[in-house]
Amino acid sequence: MANPELVRPGVALRDDELRRIAERLGREPSVVELHAFDAQWSEHCSYKSSRHHLKRLPSEGADVVLGPGQDAGILHLGEHAGERYGVVVAHESHNHPSQVVPYEGAATGVGGIVRDVLCMGAEVIAVADALRFGKVDDPGSHARYVARSAVDGIGAYANAIGVPNLAGDVYFDAGFDDNCLVNVIALGIVKESEAIASYAPPGAGGWDLVLVGKSTDPSGFGGASFSSVPLDAGDEAANKGAVQVPDPFLKNVLMRASYRVFNLLHERGIAAAFKDLGAGGIMGCSAELAASGGYGADLNLDDVNVAVDGMAPEVIAVGEAQERLLWALPPEATADVLRIYNEEYSLPEIAHNARATVVGRLTAEKRYVLRYRGAVVMDVAVEFLTGSIRDELPYVEVIRHEPEGAELPAVDVERAFPRILAHPDVCSREPLYRHYDWVVRGTTAIARDAADAGMLVPVPGSPLAVTLSIAGNPRLGRIDARYAAERAVLDAVRRTVAVGARPIGLTDCLNFGNPRKAEQYGELVAAIDGLDRAARELGLAFVSGNVSLYNESSAGVAVPASAIVACVGALDDVSQAIVPGLKSAGSALLWIGSRELAVGGSVLADVLGIDGPLPSISYDAERAAIGIVAGAIAAGTLLSCRVVAEGGMLTALARLAFDARRAGRALGAELDFGNPLCEAGGFLCEVRDAPVVDVSGTLKVGTTIAEPRLIVNGTNFDVGQLYDVWSKPLAEIYP
Amino acid sequence: MSERLVEIALKIPDNAAFTALLALRRLGLDVARVERSEVWRFDDRGDPATLADRVRANETIFNPNKHRLVELETMRPRPGETWIERRDDGDEVRAHLGGKGIAGVNASRRYAGWRLLTSGGEPASRETLAAAVAGLLCNPAIEKAIY
Amino acid sequence: MSGAIAVLVFPGTNSENETLRLLRDCGGRAELVHWSRGETLGDFDAYVLPGGFAYEDRIRAGAISAHDRMMDFVIGGAQVGKLVMGVCNGAQILLEAGLVPGTGPIRRPAAAFTDNAPVPHFVCRHVYMKLAVAPARSPITAALPDEALIPSFAAHGQGRLAADAAQLDEIVAGDRLAFVYAHADGRLDDAAVPNGSALGCAGLINAAGNVLAIMPHPERDAWNFNHLDRRQGSDVLAPSGGSVLFASFVAAVDAR
């Protein structure tokens, strides 16, 4: 047994891990070392129970500039004026903090993901959010408070730093009552030749370690291990203390000052490393930066700018105060970098004791050393601290919780369709996202939810465009984790194709339950299988990702399996974008892709209270459908398009009519298809009536008309009335 | 029913107070320290002994990680202090209290409290307060100041 | 020789780059002036205050910035007739500085752009600003047609004009209500106003007509790619839409 005196409140290390540390050190660890290992060996930092599975995911491809492993991945966007431009992308969760203190928790989620992109040397161009909240029907429920406050926090943070919200989704499901999911994604733009590494490059021995940003305070102490155990409602006060305090105003200035530093380094041709402080604080950041380049580090905690006197060294070392980054700089650059942050951008006048300051240096000896008040308080082999600890946990194969093939009943479309449009998973998200700024920077070409993916024009003077789409349907996750993961990839990719973009890469965030329960762990493993299969079938790589485990209620119930996937797309010329909304009367409506009449996991099944099998997945058919749509776009025959997803083909058509209405075009359609509410997949496309596209694998389901009506198998819907039904429900939650 | 005042202030560094201090000095005022708080006036029907706990339970206005809470004996600003109230604050106050409100509390008003201390550590004079209010702390088109 | 336009960057400003880009795309000789270089502002002929959250809107939106050293130059310049335009947070700063509506002393605000109503919350929404004065009322609007409709985005939590009745009367009587919110077809009604603003006000101008404060952002609906639906001409990167106001501003600066 480990020394029981070492087991302190707030330390989540297990006995076997404590024993391993003491054996390796040949002594009992110091208090600082104990907290350092606690953070560094937490699930949050080490991915100890998921990393060996994640390794399977495809991570290479023609568009991959930088795969997983650093703070963010980089994908090749295109060339302009002889420069190659990359899109930096990062994807993370901030689930536990957002459940406990939703405003701060969600805001710091945005703050963290923005730093991950910034520290690659990139200008941050967009954020996105995938949200999963509990049932919010009761105005006094904690779930509603979380749903509102998390959105407020995301909005306030991104608005203040001036980064548009480009994409996102939200679901409301009782499975998230005790564990909301707040996944955030950020995009940046960088000249590929100017990307900055988050590891120490060759020759970095003796370089200065420069800590930049907010003064270190006691907030967020214990955050890494807090994110790595199930939430216990009884510990709420203690949990709140582990949530950091956001300061987007300081971040706004830090970002702009860092852009200035990037310029200086490029002008002088100076190499450097830059890394975000996240889990594990100063210790975690500096140790990983050093170790991944083959160096050690020697830091003096007395040189850290702190917010209050008398902080214990372990709090300074591993506390997770926000808005901090770490540079490793050749000493000749240090003075100029300090001047930019402290004088030109006057950090000390922006926030109490904020600054850039030298806190240590990289060393050739691979030791990780911390000093405090003249004494060495930590001295360990850096690779032992950051190296691959691994938990081989038992898991059981997931069995699909699916009913036997029930007969699909006849559906009364006239009654069912308005209920589907008003369903919380289908209705308009505008009441939510109008709280976000989605047009700051003046680069927005297709706004969030105006089409299946958001689109930006990120390089001034260039027509290059980047898109972002998100998918991850928890109703599918409840039924089959592997299937849901495959569909998340397919849906995100199809959404990219539907706006006229070429998918160039993927990110994922795996939000699952307790890995120490074989069934919950089995869902995670199955989801990774699903991601792997779908990405390989479509020839795409994952360049960034994150795992959030222990999303389990105090009753021991895990959240619905939630592999949330984002897809980045590229266009060489934004003028090739598919502009949202029906364009003209007399066009043909084609359904391209799977039209299988299976209702498992669908909104229709939820509305009718029925069940049935999941639609099957055929990658041959998916690739063919994507090829047909891309071909129609290239041929100039595709006028408008939406993917068939939640709410089925008729919902996709209604959205196209709503998009047209918003643009002042009163258009509708006449439709003839048996059950237009199934959501097996595919694309609903408006095409010029000339038979230019290869129509194999497609079905003409109707024709557009010059009136704002949808006539479905003879039933007549008024587009304006449908719009009212669809646009209002979330306004009660987000007034 | 009783009228009760509760002060909620940050226990972490208050950057807004720091910025206000720099701006007041630019106005040429003798101010060495600025303390900022949110002062709530509640019409309370609950047990007076539990008011503080009931306020602490409202997650939108009190975060134990950031705030400390004091019940005020006084019904008026203290020496060196001004309370700024928005003229049309009703909707904002309701929104700020969130869906749940505070158990037992019927109605509430909110003030931004600013306490100015001179270089001698004394509460600022009424003249200094008046200059700070007119020059920076209060926009009379939308706010009124009590001091 | 074209006039030199300074785009001011306060700590917390967030819209400086698109503001600069649009002024330049409209032919303006513009550059960013950062708060630590504020002493160079005297060398410029015109000032643009972009959007953001300068000084984190501490105390009130615009309150701290109105006292910033940089504003000494802007106020001094406005008093000798230099052209000044504030957008969103920039408009809030001009109002707190007393430059608009300009009915009271400097740095003694007579009105406010304050919390949106009925819901006091940030809102991001496409809007149209309609010119509510004769174009010749101000050099800044001189190149616009009568009742020009400027497509823009409202993106603010505090954009509602609030003032007492006498002030509002003075704003109207003094022809200082420069822009009102309108629908795409020019109609005016409450539904066109995103924030409950008094008088449906989207923009104010001072008595001399050389200082304009607008809450919406024309620079976010200012290039063809921002509005693919309303795209004009073949160049997807060309300025259009809301750029007409910036073009009018640049023309006025260059005419001086």
pLDDT tens by residue, A545-593: 999 999 998 889 999 999 999 999 999 999 999 999 999 999 999 999 9
pLDDT, one tens digit per residue, over B45-57 is 989 899 999 999 8
Yes or no, beta carbons of A442 and C220 under 8 Å apart: yes
Query: How high is the pLDDT of residue A7?
Result: 40
Partner-chain residue, chosen from C12, C119, C228, that has the shortest CB–CB distance to A249: C12
Which helix (DSSP H) or strand (DSSP E) does residue A524 occupy?
helix A518-538
What is the predicted pLDDT for the residue at A13?
87
What's the gap in Å between the CA of B99 and the closest CA on chain A?
6
A189 CA: distance to closest CA in chain C (Å) = 15
Minimum mean pLDDT range among A385-394, A692-701, C21-30 = A692-701
DSSP summary character for residue A561: P
Asked if B13 is an interface residue toward chain A (Cβ–Cβ < 8 A), one would say: yes
Q: What angle do CA A121, A127, A128 make, to 5 degrees?
A: 145
CB neighbour class for A620 (10 Å; exposed up to 12, middle 13-18, buried from 19): exposed
Per-residue pLDDT at A2: 35
CB A353 within 8 A of CB A309: no
Which residue in A has a C-alpha nearest to residue C155's C-alpha? A437
Nearest CA in chain B to C157: B92
- Please state which of the ranges A214-218, A427-431, A619-623 shows the lowest mean pLDDT: A214-218
Amino acid at A252: N
- Chain C hits for A575, CB-CB cut-off 8 Å, are 225, 228, 236
Q: Which of B26, B59, B68, B100 is the best residue to mutate to test the A interface, defined by the most A CB atoms within 10 Å of its own CB?
A: B59
pLDDT score at B61: 85
Which tokens go with A225?
């291990």
Residue listed under structure tokens 């990359």: A86
Neighbours of chain A (3+ CB pairs under 8 A): B, C
Confidence of residue A409 (pLDDT cuts 50, 70, 90): confident
What integer pLDDT is reported at residue A8 of this predicted model? 47
Per-residue exposure over C144-160, b if at least 16 CB sit within 10 Å of its own CB, e if not? beeebbbbbbbbbbbbb
Query: CA separation (Å) from A355 to A58, A113, A215, C159?
Result: 40, 21, 7, 33
Which residues of A are less than 8 Å from C9 in CB distance?
A: 256
Tokens 């024993």 sit on residue: A19
Q: Which residues of B touch C159 (CB under 8 A)?
A: none
Residues C223 and C218: their CA atoms lie apart, in Å, by 10
d(CA B139, CA C60): 8
- Residues 114-173 of chain A with CB under 8 A from chain C are 155-156, 159-162
Residue A87: pLDDT over 70: yes
E-strand ranges in chain B read 2-10, 33-44, 67-72, 81-86, 105-117, 143-146
Query: What is the average per-residue pLDDT within A383-392?
Result: 82
Contact list in B for residue A149 (CB cut-off 8 A) is 59-60
Q: Does A404 have pLDDT greater than 90?
A: no
Distance from CA of B104 to the nearest CA of C (A): 25
**Which residue, among A252, A440, A467, would best test binding to C if mutated, counting the most C CBs under 10 Å from its CB?**
A440
Element (H, E) at A625: helix A619-635
Question: Across all residues in chain A, what is the average pLDDT?
Answer: 92
Handedness of CA A394, A397, A400, A404 (dihedral sign): negative
Q: What is the largest CA-CA distance in chain C?
A: 50
Looking at residue A5, its pLDDT comes to 37
Asked if the Cβ–Cβ distance from A245 to B59 is below 8 Å, we say no
Phi, psi of B40 (to 5 degrees): -110, 135
Determine the pLDDT at residue A1.
Answer: 32
Most confident of A1-5, A244-248, C150-154: C150-154
- In terms of Cα–Cα distance, which of A704, A733, A708 is closest to A723? A708
The answer to whether the CB atoms of B139 and C64 lie below 8 A apart is no
Question: Nearest CA to C136 among C149, C127, C146?
Answer: C146
A711-717 average pLDDT score: 94
* A346/C226 CB distance under 8 A: no
Q: How does residue A233 score in pLDDT terms, banded at 50, 70 and 90?
A: very low
Q: What is the pLDDT of residues A43-76, one digit of tens each?
A: 777 777 888 889 999 999 999 999 998 889 999 9
Q: Return all residues near A330 (Cβ < 8 A) that are at least 6 apart.
A: A204, A207, A208, A270, A271, A272
| Token duo for residue C239 | 């300025």
Give the model's pLDDT for residue A309. Answer: 86
Distance CA A668, CA A445 (A): 25
CB contact under 8 A, B65 and A145: no
Selected residue of A124, A342, A437, A662 to mutate for chain C interface (largest C Cβ count, 10 A): A437
Cβ–Cβ pairs < 8 A, chains A and B: 47
CB C214 within 8 A of CB C129: yes
Q: What is the rounded average pLDDT for all residues in chain B?
A: 89
**Cis amide leading into C118 (omega within 30):** yes
Output the six-digit token pair for A169: 């989704």
Q: Using CB atoms within 10 A of its CB, is residue C165 exposed (0-12), middle (13-18) or buried (19+)?
A: exposed
Chains touching chain C, criterion 3+ CB pairs below 8 Å: A, B
pLDDT band at A501 (very low <50, low <70, confident <90, very high): very high
Q: Do C63 and B139 touch (CB under 8 A)?
A: yes
CA B15 to chain A, closest CA, distance in angstroms equals: 6
What's the distance, Cα to Cα, between the start and end of chain C in Å? 10
Q: DSSP class of residue B101?
A: -
Per-residue pLDDT tens for A141-188? 889 999 999 999 999 999 999 999 999 999 999 999 999 999 999 999
Q: How far apart are the first and last CA of chain A?
A: 56
Q: What residue in A sits closest to B23 (Cα-Cα)?
A: A349
Question: Chain C residues with CB inside 8 Å of A574's CB?
Answer: 225, 228, 236
A559 residue type, one letter: V
Residues A405, A590, A169: CA angle, nearest 5 degrees = 65
- Of the candidates C91, C120, C138, C132, the one whose C-alpha atom is nearest the C-alpha of residue C255 is C138
Chain C: nearest CA to B50, how far in angstroms? 30
Range of lowest pLDDT (A172-181, A453-462, A597-606): A597-606
Flag if A735 and C34 touch (Cβ within 8 Å).
no
Q: In sequence order, what DSSP letters do the residues of A248-270 get, joined into one string?
A: HHHHHHHHHHHHHHHHHHHHHT-
C181-229 pLDDT per residue, tens = 999 999 999 999 999 999 999 999 999 999 999 999 999 999 999 999 9
Phi, psi of A357 (to 5 degrees): -155, 145
Residues B91, C117: C-beta atoms closer than 8 Å:
yes
Chain A interface includes B100 (CB < 8 A): yes
Q: How far off is chain B from A91, nearest CA to CA, in Å?
A: 27
Name the residue in chain C with its Cα closest to that of B88.
Answer: C115
Q: Which residues of C are catalytic?
A: 88, 217, 219
* Other chains touching B, judged by 3 or more CB pairs under 8 Å: A, C
pLDDT band at A228 (very low <50, low <70, confident <90, very high): low
Q: Which residues of A touch B59 (CB under 8 A)?
A: 101, 145, 149
Angstrom distance (rounded) from CA A394 to CA A92: 26
Residues of A whose CB is below 8 A from B12: 217, 219, 245, 307
Choose from C221, C229, C243 for mutation: most chain A CBs within 10 A. C229
Average pLDDT over residues A437-445: 98
Average pLDDT, chain C: 97
Q: In Å, what is the CA distance from A248 to each residue of A227, B12, C16?
A: 22, 16, 17
Packing angle, helices A648-662 and A413-421, rounded to 10: 60
Average pLDDT score over residue span A618-645: 93
Sheet holding A668-671, edge to edge: A638-643, A683-687, A588-592, A698-705, A668-671, A709-712, A715-718
Does the global pTM surpass 0.80? yes
Above pLDDT 70, what percent of chain A?
Answer: 93
pLDDT of amino acid A690: 57
Going by the DSSP 8-state scheme, the letter that residue C108 receives in this structure is S
Contact between C120 and B26 using a beta-carbon 8 Å cutoff: no
For residues A300-306, give the mean pLDDT: 96
Q: Across the strands, what pairs with B123?
A: B117
* Phi and psi based region of residue A236 (left: phi greater than 0; alpha: psi -120 to 50; beta: remaining): alpha
Amino acid at position A181, single letter: L
Residues of B in contact with C101 (CB under 8 A): none
Beta-bridged to residue C99, according to DSSP, are none
Confidence of residue A229 (pLDDT cuts 50, 70, 90): low
Residue of C nearest to A341 (CA): C36
Contacts of A444 in chain C (CB under 8 A): 220, 226
Residue listed under structure tokens 């592997």: A482
Of these residues, A44, A53, A91, A96, which one is catalytic? A44
Shortest distance, CA C19 to any CA of chain A (angstroms)? 8
Residues in chain C closer than 8 A to B95 (CB atoms): 119-121
Residue A697 has pLDDT above 80, yes or no: no
B–C CB contacts, 8 A cutoff, strictly below: 56
Contacts of A499 in chain C (CB under 8 A): none
Pairing of strands B2-10, C149-156: unpaired
> Could you tell me if A643 and A682 are in contact, meaning their C-beta atoms sit under 8 angstroms apart?
yes
Of residues A44 and B83, the one with the higher pLDDT is B83
Residue type, A186: A
Contact assignment for C225 to A445 by CB distance below 8 Å? yes
Give pLDDT, residue C140: 98
- Tell me how far apart the alpha carbons of residues C238 and C230 are, in angstroms, rounded to a whole number: 13
Question: Are C119 and B95 inside 8 Å of each other by CB?
Answer: yes
pLDDT digits (tens, 9 = 90+) for A642-695: 999 999 999 999 999 999 999 999 999 999 888 899 998 999 999 986 555 555
Residue A410 burial by CB count (10 A; 0-12/13-18/19+): exposed, middle or buried?
Answer: exposed
For residue A348, the one-letter residue type is P
What does the pLDDT read at residue A223? 61
Bridge partners (DSSP) of residue B145 are: B84
C29-71: pLDDT as tens digits: 999 999 999 999 999 999 999 999 999 999 999 999 999 999 9
Query: What chain C residue is nearest to A661 in terms of C-alpha separation?
Result: C229
Q: If you count residue pairs, one on A and one on C, with CB atoms under 8 Å apart, how many are there?
A: 110
